[in-house]
Structure 1
Amino acid sequence: MKFAFFPALAVLLAACTTNLPGLAPPTVAEVEAERQGRLTRVDEIVAVRYQTTDDGVVLYAMGRTPRQGYFDPQLRLIERRGNTLVFEMLAQPPVEATSTGTARSRQIIAALHLRRSELVGVTAGTVVSKTNQMTVRGR
């Protein structure tokens, strides 16, 4: 009796892997498109700094969101103004309602590595939010 149970269980479990039309897991491209569509600028830039690396710099920005739960912070290049690279700070809003919380609890940090080849002629970096912007200059 025990042995007849296992083949039947195997057949049932094998059917679980069948992808019915419309029920297949999303592709990487579909997930990325949805994620990009939900990104929003943070409310405020709190701090900007950079750290030199062997092959360029890492630009760090701390931003404040309107409520807790924002995630996946990013810095996205939006333009080059002369010798300044201008980035916007974006983040994914939470899916469910969250509380406002304290200002400190709504801070998130994004970082972006820039290679030396991307920094030719660049002397400053500006990060913008919905309400303000901050600039850091190279030494």
Structure 2
Amino acid sequence: MTRSVLAILALCLTVTACGRVADSRLNPFNWFGRDRDEQAEVVDERFINDPRQFVAQVTSLQVDPTPEGAIIRTVGLPPVQGFWDAELVEVDIEDPTTLTYEFRVAPPPVRTRQGTVQSREIIAGAAVSNRRLATVRTITVIGQSNRRAVRR
């Protein structure tokens, strides 16, 4: 009986000493922190062979873990309604700890209104494998006027 009491007491002390699992680095939902907004202006778009332009502003960046890796989801804000064909285009960088994407969109074929912010928002995403994420510490998405980044 004393062994079971000691085992229960040890288990209770161990669990309470661990702190909150929600705030732990072991929790996959905490792999990447909150996104940060960094001001940047893209000067030269010719370095990638893509006819689409950068989204005007990247408004949010979120990394959601999955069993296979993670899904990078970002919201961009073009200047007017009607932008389409949104895609996160990976930029080759020699730093293996950084994963960088350009948020590219195609302009509307005809002139459109500006509209409300909510009506102009456009979402793009990308899936990344656990193997690729093993060395990544920073994920960055670049827009025309800013960039957003999350860090582990």
Match in the other structure for 1:42:
55
Structure 1: give runs of 5+ residues left out of the alignment. Answer: 1-35
Deviation at 1:103, TM superposition (A): 2.1
Q: Which TM-score applies when normalising by structure 2? A: 0.63
Match in the other structure for 1:65:
78
Deviation at 1:72, TM superposition (A): 1.7
Match in the other structure for 2:115:
101
When structure 1 is superposed on structure 2, of 124-133 and 73-82 the one drifting more is: 73-82
Match in the other structure for 1:87:
101
Please tell me whether the aligned partners of residues 43 and 131 of structure 1 are also in contact (alpha carbons under 8 angstroms): yes
When structure 1 is superposed on structure 2, of 77-86 and 97-106 the one drifting more is: 77-86
Match in the other structure for 2:24:
none
Deviations 1:76-113 (A, max 9, x none): 11133451111110111111111111222211010100
Deviation at 1:38, TM superposition (A): 3.4
Aligned residues: 103
Match in the other structure for 2:138:
124
Aligned equivalent of 2:125, options 111, 115, 118: 111
Q: % of aligned pairs identical?
A: 28
More RCO (CA 8 Å, sep 6+): 2
Q: Which TM-score applies when normalising by structure 1? A: 0.69
Match in the other structure for 2:68:
55
Aligned AA for 2:122?
A: I
Match in the other structure for 1:29:
none
Deviation at 1:54, TM superposition (A): 0.8
Give the whole-Å Cα distance in 2 for the aligned partners of 1:82 and 1:58: 18
Give the whole-Å Cα distance in 1 for the aligned partners of 2:51 and 2:142: 18
Give the whole-Å Cα distance in 2 for the aligned partners of 1:136 and 1:71: 25
Give the whole-Å Cα distance in 2 for the aligned partners of 1:73 and 1:134: 17
Structure 2: give runs of 5+ residues left out of the alignment. Answer: 1-48
Deviation at 1:120, TM superposition (A): 2.6
Segments of 4+ in structure 1 off by > 2 A?
79-82
SS at match of 1:72: strand
Match in the other structure for 2:13:
none
